[in-house]
Amino acid sequence: MSVPPLAITGTGMVTGVGLSAPAACAAIRCAIDNFQETRFMDAGGEWILGCEVPLEQPWRGRAKLVKMLAMALQECLDNAPGLDEGATPLILGVAEPARPGRIDGLEDALIPEVEAELGRRFHPGSVVIAGGRLSVAQGLHRARKLLVAAEADSVIVAGVDGFLNAPALAAYEARERLLTSTNSNGFIPGEAAAAVVVELARVSDEPQFLCMGLGFGTEPASVEAEDQPLRADGLVQAIRGALDEVGVTLAATDFRITDVSGEQYGFKEAALALSRLLRERKPEYDIWHPADCVGEVGAAIGAVVLGVASAAVTKAYAPGNNILAHFGNDDGQRAAAILTYQPVKAA
């Protein structure tokens, strides 16, 4: 293997269906959602559905992002009592710079603000990645470099985002991307924060949930492009890159988990990529999409996916222990990860 695998040793999650990783994953397993009418109205005069995180006070905007992120990070830290946050870099994913409704200044202020909220200070090398739904995959790639270079023993990769604000909803409704009373091919907006602790995998008698490989690509026919046919070239490139790092074929994976959030484009792309890559017959090959329960949560979805996959394999309700995860941004960027669970072997 050309690259070392990463061990995912802790998770934290704050979503509209649960304020901790166990609660959120249990709700998602049961297909429970929290889609309710928001305070925003669509062009047809109907209330827009959304998935809001229910906190003790009605925080909005930047303050709510900080509160959600602090809760997810605190859960990660609580589950890793030996972790020294001062020696642990935080790689934080947020919305892309051009994303409608994005709060200004996230790169400059969000980490100091969440440190103040937690009363903790992370490694000085902590950074913000404005990569949207690819943020956590990009964060894992960066974390792997830090760990291989022995610049840290552990890294926290997190994401926080939200679409429940007027500029975002107005822009996506105008683009016919939002699920409304007049558009059935759209997503339900949500908000969330999630985080994972990663380390280099080591030989161990304990079970491990591992990220074995990562791949990236670019799709010319993005979701709003009309001048090129969708062939899933970018997703195929990303999946092939991840598989090549592991040295396996797609048939070695047991199911998929992805960021698709209700729009037909994402499901069509996933089906096209599968038709081009899967060369062996599989009786079943499920595709999981947690956004069905938590809504479109942007940069947080990567860590949500990792948390859901981790819970599924460790609690043995997944279709298998080998997983393909993939993600895509509106601008055509794609990422994929090969995940696997190594349970304790019988003596």
Cα(29)–Cα(311) distance, integer angstroms: 9
Of residues 167 and 228, which shows the higher confidence score?
A: 167
Is residue 295 over pLDDT 80? yes
| 204 backbone dihedrals φ, ψ, rounded to 5° | -150, 150
Q: What is the mean pLDDT of residues 216-228?
A: 87
Of residues 344 and 40, which shows the higher confidence score?
A: 40
pLDDT for the residue 195: 98
Per residue in 151-166, pLDDT tens? 999 999 999 999 999 9
Report CA-CA distances (Å) from 267 to 205, 259, 307.
38, 10, 21
Is residue 327 over pLDDT 90? yes
Please check whether residue 143 is in contact with residue 90, taking contact to mean a CB–CB distance below 8 angstroms: no
Retrieve residue 329's tokens.
């941004």
Q: Crossing angle of helices 61-78/106-118, nearest 10°?
A: 50
pLDDT for the residue 222: 84
Instruction: State the pTM of this model.
Output: 0.96
pLDDT for the residue 166: 96
pLDDT for the residue 344: 66
pLDDT for the residue 345: 62
Q: Which residue segments constitute the domains of the chain, with CATH numbers given? A: 6-200 (3.40.47.10), 210-342 (3.40.47.10)
pLDDT for the residue 347: 45
- Burial (0-12, 13-18, 19+ Cβ within 10 Å), 108: exposed
Cα(33)–Cα(190) distance, integer angstroms: 11
Number of neighbours of residue 230 by Cβ within 10 angstroms: 17
Range with the poorest average pLDDT among 76-90, 116-130, 291-305: 76-90
Q: What is the mean pLDDT of residues 228-234?
A: 93
Q: What is the mean pLDDT of residues 46-68?
A: 96
Q: What is the mean pLDDT of residues 301-312?
A: 98
- Burial (0-12, 13-18, 19+ Cβ within 10 Å), 88: buried
Cα(96)–Cα(165) distance, integer angstroms: 16
Per residue in 64-115, pLDDT tens? 999 999 999 999 999 888 899 999 999 999 999 999 999 988 988 999 999 9
Cα(63)–Cα(110) distance, integer angstroms: 10
Please check whether residue 255 is in contact with residue 318, taking contact to mean a CB–CB distance below 8 angstroms: yes
Range with the poorest average pLDDT among 100-109, 136-145, 163-172, 222-231: 222-231
Burial track 33-55 (b if 16+ CB lie within 10 A, e otherwise): bbbeebebebeeeeebbbbbbee
Q: What is the mean pLDDT of residues 222-240?
A: 90
**SS (HEC) of 296-328:** ECHHHHHHHHHHHHHHHHHCCCCCCCEEEEEEE
Residue spans of beta strands (DSSP E) within the chain: 6-14, 36-41, 47-50, 90-93, 127-129, 155-162, 191-200, 208-218, 255-258, 287-288, 322-328, 333-342
Is residue 1 over pLDDT 60? no
Which ranges of the chain would DSSP assign to H, the alpha helix?
Answer: 21-29, 61-78, 106-118, 135-148, 166-174, 233-246, 264-277, 291-294, 301-314
Is residue 256 over pLDDT 70? yes
Tokens 């222990």, located at residue: 321
Is residue 121 over pLDDT 60? yes
| Average confidence score pLDDT of the chain | 95
